[in-house]
Amino acid sequence: MPRTLSQVAWRWLCGLLLVSLLPHLQADDSGTLRYPRRADGDEFRSIYALAQLQLALDKAGSPLRLEPSYYSMEQERALVNLEHNDRLDVAWSMTSIEREQRLLPVRIPLDKGLFGWRIALLPKSRAQLLKDVRNLDDLRQFSVGQGHDWPDSAILRSHGLPVKVSSNYGSLFRMLQAQRFDYFPRSVIEIWDELEHPRARQLIVDPHVLLHYPTAMYFFFSRKRPELAETVRIGMEKAIADGSFERLFQQHFAASLQRAQLDQRQLIELHNPLLPSATPLQRRELWFTAPSVR
């Protein structure tokens, strides 16, 4: 019996719908959202991001389960794997123009911009190194340590600050102890946990200077998986609206921010030439508001 035109059209429409839904079905069928595993001993660096990611999935009603990658990954390797949709579904990183061209960001700063608020780790023997720093010119006499692929390196160099780099996060602490550079600026929400790590036993937090440049840490996804980015975006917006995002943020970082005594420090403002124009700076509820600083 010959098919009618309406039957053919209906089958074609159903096939088209199936193709359009295929990425969503694949995401649900896989059951997991794979994220970059940290090296042994560095798992603490992922606790907050994973908590916010799980909160977003819960708020979006997603059944996806978080699962670490089989091998640990440094930042750039994770971003390359993610770009090619290769054994990784999500990563979190400081944003830049280049990263937003390669990857699909959810433009909600899970750090509330605090990765741009930096205080320095110093060797204990040089605890007063930055005591007399009052401005950028004063700071230029000291060398700074950073990861070779971190956007921070380019930001600091753009202001004439001498930067020495390493391809390995852990080695930066050893380099600082050996005084291969002078100071290691860290986010105010990560420095205290880092200070408790055994590799930082000969280090101390500088009490004098606060660097700031506008930036954001986002969840990033492959451009081939927009449905995953949209799921997390919806969940994060719901968490912001009902206050659960802020409660989780405060649970993790309220003590660290109080300990940092930001209002007692000499503030040095830096421009960020890598900040994408699409950064939602106009949404004040997404950003940390610092107390008055010197």
The arithmetic mean of pLDDT across residues 89-94, rounded, is 97
Please state, in angstroms and rounded to a whole number, the distance separating the CA atoms of residues 88 and 92. Answer: 12
Rounded mean pLDDT, 106-130: 97
What local confidence, expressed as pLDDT, does residue 18 receive? 36
Give 102's pLDDT tier (boundaries 50, 70, 90).
very high
Distances (CA, A) of 122 to 232, 252, 259, 261, 267: 37, 24, 17, 17, 18
What is the percentage of the chain residues whose pLDDT exceeds 90?
A: 82
The mean pLDDT value for 94-117 works out to: 97
pLDDT, one tens digit per residue, over 244-281 is 999 999 999 999 999 999 999 999 999 999 999 999 99
In sequence order, the β-bridge partners of residue 37 are 72
Tokens for 175, please give them.
């380099």
- The whole-number pLDDT of residue 291 equals 72
Per-residue confidence (pLDDT) for residue 230, from 0 to 100 = 98
Alpha-carbon distance of 148 to 153, in angstroms, equals: 7
Contact 154, 240 (CB under 8 A): no
The pLDDT assigned to 19 comes to 35
Per the document, the length of the chain is 294
> 146-204: per-residue pLDDT in tens?
999 899 999 999 999 999 999 899 999 999 999 999 999 999 999 999 999 999 989 99
Across 216-244, average pLDDT:
98
The larger pLDDT score, comparing residue 23 to residue 61, is at: 61
Q: What is the mean pLDDT of residues 122-129?
A: 97
10-42: per-residue pLDDT in tens?
Answer: 444 444 443 344 344 334 356 999 999 998 888
Q: Is the pLDDT of residue 9 over 60?
A: no
What is the chain's alpha carbon radius of gyration, rounded to the nearest angstrom?
Answer: 22
Kindly state the percentage of the chain with pLDDT values over 70: 89
Separation between Cα atoms, residue 44 and residue 175, nearest integer Å: 22
Asked if pLDDT for residue 43 goes beyond 70, the answer is yes
Kindly list the structural domains of the chain, giving each domain's residue range(s) and its CATH number in brackets, ordered by start. Answer: 6-113+217-261 (3.40.190.10), 115-212 (3.40.190.10)
Instruction: Please give the pLDDT value at position 293.
Output: 65
Mean pLDDT of 83-95: 95
Residue 7 has pLDDT above 60, yes or no: no
| Region of residue 288 (left: phi > 0; alpha: psi -120 to 50; beta: else) | beta
CA distances from 187 to 45, 54, 94, 132 (A): 12, 23, 11, 21
| pLDDT computed for residue 39 by the predictor | 87
> What predicted TM-score, i.e. pTM, was given to this entire model?
0.87
Q: At residue 217, does pLDDT exceed 60? A: yes
* DSSP-derived 3-state class of residue 24: helix
Range 1-10 average pLDDT:
42
